[in-house]
């Protein structure tokens, strides 16, 4: 038998003493917070690394839930349900917290500790990860600008509001270039129909429309169409509506207040679609939306949709990856990248899939793309080091791990992976130093303890190797590699019965190496 060394973090089961369980999208013991909580024992700590977690995690036992900034910011969790526990069990995590007995949702109270305002609350279908923060801020700025503009339009209307009896059409001088205002209402105005007013108007005139619902209007000149409210403010029947407007290539300035504005068509012919004239197309909004606002809002909606779509594809890819469906996961990450080539998480996660498939060159290319977009993405540096190590490029692997350590000296996995590269170079003492650093950062790091045992075995220090492996097994009794390696060390000491027992346990737990 020979010892086996594991480079990447493996899934760990529950421990028999206070332990630390790690959660991240790739390379940790768990990819789901709830899965880590379910596996934890009372007194354990669940560390959640940077990233967005689109899940509700229910704290159903006495544990600590701690956020770890691994270079991507404070982790964001959609909802954390405290099932009879205090908020003090949560630290350095941005989330909406539900206090409940968790038997149902009735009577639950919701608070959002650490959030700067309701705009930061993760309460929609698609979780916004820290990588989306900059884009989301731009979107919020666009929304604020639109709201300010619409509010100004409403204020202008309110300040100039007049009753129907106060309006009188200004006299237009013959042959002058002065623009006129033409009024439209059921009675007492210049016209009772918008189309008649348009036909009579001169270019540049304003047509003020009061009460009434009009099916369509066709323009043959540039005009201003102003909607005016009259009578009781809250009665929507006291303001005008138009179902379909045909601009015919002319610039039509829409101002004022409208109960409904439906289709605005550039052409002069009636559309053939069967739904264009339906009441479902009427926009019931007291604030007028000019064509300029409509275009801005469309850009905004497209941006929001792309954000949602890229995150959705990325999350779907992560779910498929965790199921071992690597090819399907790759397709999802490719879709996310197609939508937004600058979305670093998709590049990083695609690299992890390729790394798991042994396609190291392609994996490194993806990690480099992610690092180029976000040089502070510490996980990408760490896993790039793992891929380089698998290629036998130990010096480059060490450099990548060192970069991860520079970004986060408390990044235990980077210390572990650096130790693996040094071990492969035969630099056992330096490898031991790296594993000791990883264990110092996380005393419950069973993988680093197992790898330390491998190095000690290679140095002929069998008793010390067994001691390290026993500690790893105590932390995670389900760790098949640790049981196998203990068997190898026992066999080298001549303890054949104990060795066979260790081998049998490893095989029982699924060891196939």
- Token output for 235: 């009665």
Residue whose entry in the numeric block shows the structure tokens 């015919």: 248
* Residue ranges of E strands in 398-459: none
What was the pLDDT predicted at 135?
46
Is 274 within a domain?
yes
Cα 481-482-488 angle, rounded to 5 deg:
90
How far apart are alpha carbons 25 and 254 in whole angstroms?
49
pLDDT of residue 257: 77
φ, ψ (nearest 5 deg) of residue 368: -65, -40
The last residue of one of the domains, among 288, 320, 340, is 288
pLDDT of residue 89: 85
Q: Which two tokens stand for residue 60?
A: 């159903």
**118 and 183 part of one domain:** no
34-69 tens-digit pLDDT: 888 888 877 788 999 988 888 888 888 888 899 998
Among 263, 288, 313, residue at a domain's last position: 288
Domain match, 95 and 194 both:
no
Residue 240 DSSP label: -
- Check whether residue 172 and residue 280 sit in a common domain: yes
**Mean pLDDT value across residues 302-311:** 64
Among 289-298, 455-464, 501-510, the minimum mean pLDDT is found in 289-298
b (16+ CB within 10 A) / e for 412-447? bbbbbbbbbbbbbeebbebbbebbebbbebbebbbb
Range of the domain at 495: 445-513
Clarify whether residues 237 and 170 are in a common domain. Answer: yes
Three-state SS sequence of 58-114 = EECCCCEEEEECCCCCCCEEEEEEEECCCHHHEECCEEEEEEECCCCCCCCEEECCC
Instruction: Give one DSSP letter per residue of 448-466, joined into a string.
Output: HHHHHHHHHHHTT-HHHHH
Is residue 305 one of the residues assigned to a domain? no
Give the Cα separation of 97 and 110 in Å (integer): 6
In a domain, 296, yes or no: no
Which of the pair, 161 or 32, is modelled with greater confidence? Answer: 32
**477 vs 16, 150, 255, 435, CA distance in Å?**
8, 63, 72, 20
112 and 215 together in one domain: no
Tens of pLDDT, residues 108-150: 443 433 332 222 222 222 233 344 445 455 556 655 665 565 5
Tokens (6 digits) for 475: 């932390």
Residue of 239 and 251 predicted with greater confidence: 251
Looking at the fold, whether 180 and 274 belong to one and the same domain comes out as: yes
Total domain count, the chain: 3
d(CA 447, CA 433): 15
- On whether the CB atoms of residues 139 and 307 are closer than 8 A, the answer is yes
The reply to whether 173 falls in a domain is yes
- Asked, for residue 82, whether it belongs to a domain, the answer is yes
Looking at the fold, whether 169 and 82 belong to one and the same domain comes out as: no
Q: Average pLDDT, stretch 286-297? A: 51
117 & 169 share domain: no
Sequence-distant (≥ 6) Cβ neighbours of residue 470 within 8 angstroms: 486
Residue 392 domain-assigned? no
pLDDT (tens digit per residue) in 419-469: 999 999 999 999 999 999 999 999 999 999 999 999 999 999 999 999 999
Quick one: tokens of 512?
């196939």
Specify if 97 maps to a domain: yes
Highest mean pLDDT among 4-18, 132-146, 219-233, 297-311: 219-233
Beta bridge partners of 255: 226
Torsion over CA of 195, 197, 199 and 205, rounded to 10 degrees?
Answer: -130
Domain boundary among 92, 123, 154: 123
């Amino acid at each position: 038998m020979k010892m086996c060394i594991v480079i990447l973090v493996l899934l760990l089961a529950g421990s028999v003493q206070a332990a630390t369980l790690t959660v991240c999208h790739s390379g940790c013991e768990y990819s789901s917070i709830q899965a880590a909580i379910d596996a934890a024992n009372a007194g354990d700590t669940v560390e959640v690394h940077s990233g967005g977690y689109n899940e509700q995690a229910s704290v159903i036992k006495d544990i600590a839930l701690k956020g770890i900034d691994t270079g991507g910011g404070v982790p964001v969790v959609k909802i954390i349900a405290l099932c009879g526990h205090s908020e003090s069990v949560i630290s350095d995590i941005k989330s909406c917290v539900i206090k409940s007995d968790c038997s149902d949702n009735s009577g639950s109270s919701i608070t959002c500790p650490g959030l700067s305002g309701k705009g930061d609350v993760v309460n929609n279908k698609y979780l916004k990860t820290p990588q989306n923060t900059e884009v989301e801020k731009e979107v919020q700025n666009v929304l604020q600008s639109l709201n300010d503009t619409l509010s100004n339009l409403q204020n202008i209307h309110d300040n100039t509001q007049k009753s129907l009896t106060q309006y009188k059409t200004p006299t237009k001088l013959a042959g002058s270039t002065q623009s006129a205002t033409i009024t439209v209402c059921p009675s007492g105005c210049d016209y009772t129909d918008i189309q008649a007013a348009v036909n009579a108007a001169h270019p540049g005139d304003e047509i003020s429309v009061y009460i009434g619902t009009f099916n369509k209007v066709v323009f043959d000149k540039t005009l201003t169409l102003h909607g005016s409210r009259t009578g009781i403010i809250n009665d929507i029947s006291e303001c005008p509506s138009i179902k379909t407007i045909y601009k015919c290539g002319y610039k039509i300035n829409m101002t004022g207040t409208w109960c409904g504005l439906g289709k605005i068509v550039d052409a002069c012919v009636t559309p053939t679609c069967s739904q264009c004239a339906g009441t479902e197309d009427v926009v019931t909004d007291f604030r007028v939306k000019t064509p300029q606002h409509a275009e801005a809002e469309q850009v905004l909606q497209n941006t929001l949709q792309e954000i949602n779509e890229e995150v959705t594809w990325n999350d779907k890819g992560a779910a498929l990856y965790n199921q071992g469906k690597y090819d399907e996961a790759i397709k999802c990450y490719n879709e996310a990248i197609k939508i937004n080539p600058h979305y670093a998480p998709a590049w990083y996660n695609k690299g992890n899939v390729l790394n798991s498939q042994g396609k190291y060159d392609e994996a490194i290319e993806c990690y480099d793309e992610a690092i180029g977009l976000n040089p502070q993405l510490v996980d990408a540096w760490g896993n790039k080091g793992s891929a380089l190590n698998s290629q036998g490029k130990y010096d480059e692997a060490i450099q990548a791990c060192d970069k991860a350590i520079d970004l986060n000296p408390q990044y235990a996995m980077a210390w572990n992976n650096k130790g693996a590269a040094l071990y492969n170079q035969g630099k056992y003492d330096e490898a031991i130093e790296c594993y000791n650093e990883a264990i110092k950062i996380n005393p419950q790091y069973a993988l680093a303890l197992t790898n330390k045992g491998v190095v000690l075995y290679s140095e002929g220090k069998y008793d010390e190797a067994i001691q390290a492996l026993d500690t790893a097994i105590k932390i995670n009794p389900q760790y098949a590699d640790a049981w196998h390696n203990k068997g190898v060390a026992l066999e080298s000491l001549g303890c054949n019965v104990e060795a066979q027992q260790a081998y049998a346990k490893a095989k029982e737990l699924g060891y196939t190496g």
